[in-house]
Structure 1
Amino acid sequence: MQVNDIEKFLNEVFPPENALDYDNVGLIAGNRDKVVSAILVSLDLTSKSIQAAKACGANLIVTHHPIIFGGIKALTMDDYVGRTLVELINSGISVISCHTNLDLTDEFGNLAIAELLGAKDAKHLDGAVCGVYYELGSEEPVTLKDYCKKVASDLKCSGIITINDPQNKVNKVFIQGGSFDEDSVDTILKNGIDTVISGEIKHHICVGLGQMGVNTIIAGHSATEQAYLPKMAKLLSEKFPGIDITVNYNNEVSSIL
């Protein structure tokens, strides 16, 4: 099995044409003709993830975030991108990235977060850029304070940010992992969503939603998207059962110190 075979499969599941215009997906660096020894699945391409790949014998890393977004004019050791790519190439490792083409596939990305939170019957919210919603359906009202604790525990967050009253009630929840897209606001309001969970939400959006009776739970970009990794590993292992797949959780995740 070659790098090219892995890339073709991922392009079938997450079509590159679905990626947003600014994005960069597919094979970012490496050799398409190289036989794959093992695969490391990671949120980001960093020196740590390269070392993790070498430790498990992987010569292919599949990341969520691409290390190259725009064009680069030089490949040197003078910056993070150049230094990481030089280390990657010198290690004989290739990297494939599935970013917004994965984000916009709700049944994979945001549904993975909902599943970690124990949500049942999560569905795509029609009209939203991406994202799924579900109802708690609890007999006893759930407070925002208690639900924030659950989110922090289930997603293994180092902390939660919310600007709303901790005693507010939570019932109809919308999830959009990573960065929140404010184009989804009108759809959220029209559908009676009372709580939004995302990795990052701009302050003025939080304030505006709060004024409209919607709670916001900011769980951290990495914490929300870490949920994608085991699902990606499962997808690859089912398609390529003869290749060892390792999940790398040792990412540059924010911490509260």
Structure 2
Amino acid sequence: MPTLRDLQAVIESLWPVAGTESWDSVGLVSGSPDAVVEHVHLAVDAVPDTAREAVALGADLLLTHHPLLLRGVTTIAEDTYKGAVLATLVRGGCALVAAHTNADVVATGTSAVLADRIGLRDQRPLDPGDAPDTGIGRVGVLPEAVPLGVLARRIVDVLPPTASGVRVSGDYDRPVRTVALCAGAGDSLLGNALVRDADVYVTSDLRHHPASEFREQALLTDGPALIDTSHWATEWLWLDVAAEQLRQAAGVRVTVSDLRTDPWDFAVLPSAAAPTPTTEQGA
């Protein structure tokens, strides 16, 4: 049976460390390279629930997209969530590995999977990498133009359900065909030329000021609409693709977590009868 060291070599072949952004932290987080690995469990986030799930399933390796130790910590005490994750995995004999931006940039990475699922053709990266078809984000075209609202509904139907759903900036009936997207947080690409030339930009974690400035400029110049999605949901789609690649390359059992680790539990929306806020009300 393969060892964790063998699995690390497979992971490197699928998602090379060379593709990692300079600020990122990927690779082996915990575990012995000599340990035997028969079962790999995949999740977006290393949180106590996914750690317990991996151990309960008898997994030897938890492979997550998001790094647990992206930023420095001064303690892994078990009354901190990062300490609880590591303690659970170590006691359960389950290693932890992260494949983050190195899994975003490959030709079958997070953005490419999202683009495939919503039907984009003629795809290319928004920010190309060194190798062909690699890089951050994707832009492509739909087979035919559809109303912005129809595309938003298609995205909702493709993604796993979350409390936040999707938010849209733009007219519902506006026709869109060229779609730029970045799975996960993508407001750093709001100034990208391919984003600016698209009919709509789909990404996650859009903050008020960058989104507002983008929207107002778009209104002046007939620029792109915006669709804001759940970060976790867009990247969760990649897990099934990654799992199949691991099965083929490593010949081990691979399972995928369907635990929702999106941080939001529910949304409260105004009722149809709610009064419209006025200046006098301080809105």
TM-score, L = length of structure 2: 0.83
For 1:157 and 1:145, the matched residues in 2 are separated by: 17
1:113 is matched with which residue? 114
User: Which stretch shifts more, 104-113 or 217-226?
Assistant: 104-113
TM alignment of 1:109-188, pairs within 5 A: 109-125=110-126, 130-138=136-144, 141-158=145-162, 159-183=165-189, 185-188=191-194
Structure 1 residues 189 and 13 mapped into 2: Cα distance closer, same or farther (>3 Å)? closer
CA contact (8 A) 2:30 2:95 kept: yes
Residue 125 of structure 1 contacts residue 131 of structure 1 at CA under 8 Å; is this kept in 2? yes
SS in structure 1 of the partner of residue 254 of structure 2: strand
Contact 2:139 2:194 in 1 (8 A): no
Q: How does 1:89-108 map to 2 (within 5 A)?
A: 89-108=90-109
* Aligned residue type for 2:241: K
Instruction: Give the C-alpha shift of residue 203 in structure 1.
Output: 2.4
Cα 1:146/1:183, change in 2 over 3 Å: closer
- Please list every run of at least 4 consecutive aligned residues from structure 1 whose deviation after the TM superposition is greater than 6 angstroms: none
Kindly indicate whether the alpha-carbon contact (under 8 Å) linking 1:38 and 1:58 is maintained by their aligned counterparts in 2.
yes
Equivalent of 2:253 in 244, 253, 257? 244
- With over 3 angstroms needed to count, the CA separation of the structure-2 counterparts of 1:256 and 1:118, relative to structure 1, is farther
* Cα distance in 2, alignment partners of residues 247 and 144 from structure 1: 32
Alpha carbons 1:37, 1:57 under 8 Å: kept: no
In the TM superposition, 1:6-155 aligns within 5 A as 6-125=7-126, 130-138=136-144, 141-155=145-159
2:226 aligned to 203, 209, 216, which one? 216
Q: Gaps spanning 5+ residues in structure 1: where?
A: none
Q: Distance in 2 between matches of 1:127 and 1:56?
A: 38
Q: Determine the C-alpha separation between the residues in 1 that align with 2:210 and 2:24.
A: 24
Contact 1:2 1:33 in 2 (8 A): yes
The yes-or-no answer on 1:201 pairing with 2:206 is yes
Q: Distance in 1 between matches of 2:224 and 2:18?
A: 33
Residue 171 of structure 1, CA deviation:
1.1
Query: What one-letter code is carried by the residue in structure 2 that aligns with 1:17?
Result: A
* Deviation per residue, 1:109-144 (Å, 9 max, x gap): 211111111223322235696111111242xx4211
Q: What is the rounded CA distance, in whole Å, between the counterparts of 2:212 and 2:63 in structure 1?
A: 36
Higher Cα radius of gyration: 2
Match of 2:271 in 1: none
Native 8 Å contact 1:162 1:216 kept in 2: yes
Q: SS in structure 2 opposite 1:146?
A: helix
After superposition, what is the alpha-carbon deviation per residue over 1:151-189, rounded to whole angstroms, capped at 9, x for unaligned? 001113431112322222211001100000424523235
Alignment match, 1:226: 236
Secondary structure at the residue paired with 2:156?
A: helix
- TM-score by length of structure 1 reads 0.90
Contact 2:110–2:234 at 8 Å: present in 1 too?
Answer: no
Instruction: Check the 8 A contact 1:157/1:219 in 2, yes or no.
Output: no
Identity of aligned residues (%): 25
Unmatched tracts of structure 2, length 5 or more:
130-134, 268-283
Structure 2: distance between partners of 1:37 and 1:199: 35
Equivalent residues of 1:157, 1:220 under 8 A apart: no
Higher mean displacement: 47-56 or 181-190 = 181-190
CA distance in 1, matches of 2:64, 2:152: 28
Tell whether the 8 Å contact from 2:10 to 2:250 is kept in structure 1 after alignment.
no
Q: Residue 58 of structure 2: SS of its match in structure 1?
A: coil
Which residue in 1 is equivalent to 2:3? 2
C-alpha RMSD over aligned residues: 2.0
Q: Structure 1's 181 and 249: CA in aligned 2 closer, same or farther, altered over 3 A?
A: same
* Amino acid corresponding to residue 207 of structure 1 in structure 2: S
